[in-house]
A = this chain, B = another copy of it.
């Protein structure tokens, strides 16, 4: 997720928001629950996922420190996915009604949220594009191209390959194999946590 982090948390003219710590795997909210809070991530990383009938989880998004969670649910009745901590994390929670009130009154804050949602839409569209590709190699290349530095073509990995596999809808085996092939064909170079397109 390449969302631009929110410049500043939403001020709601109330007491400072309380910080809530989350252990690895701890659930912040579940799909269908009534939306009462919006969150800004203080530390760590959260997973947004849905569960299939067979119990398997599908990753539909990630959010890291500085970003908000559940903004898209502000106008909905219930959360539309589960949210669980990926590693230890902490969030600041803001009451939904207060946030909505603040947005109504302060168009500057509304603009911040607008910008954030617009970035999310573009990010998600990029993900849809990648997932619409049928083969493994093009998915990886598109994923890397979206993250690599435009001039150097390098990307410093901030996650495991296994989690990348989840993001682009592949099994980790298929990902590793495609990576090996890409490297053999000199389309990419791996050097520790650094990947370079070439």
Chain A interface (Cβ < 8 Å from any Cβ of B): 48, 50, 52, 58-61, 71-76, 80-81, 103-107, 110-111, 113-115, 117-122, 124-125, 127-129, 131-134, 138, 169
CA distance A75 to B74 in the complex (A): 21
Q: Is the CB of A75 within 8 A of B124?
A: no
| Secondary structure type dominating chain A contacts | helix
Q: A75 — which chain B residues lie within 8 A by C-beta?
A: 114-115, 118-119
CA of A71 to CA of B122, assembled, Å: 10
Least CB distance from A84 to B in Å reads 16
Roughly how many angstroms separate A48 CA and B126 CA in the complex, as a whole number?
Answer: 12
* Cβ contact within 8 Å between A132 and B58: yes
Contacts of A129 in B (CB 8 A): 50, 58, 60
| Least distance between A135 CB and chain B CB atoms (Å) | 11
Q: How far is the CB of A146 from chain B (nearest CB, A)?
A: 11
Identify which of B105, B111, B118, B133 contacts A58 (C-beta below 8 A).
B133
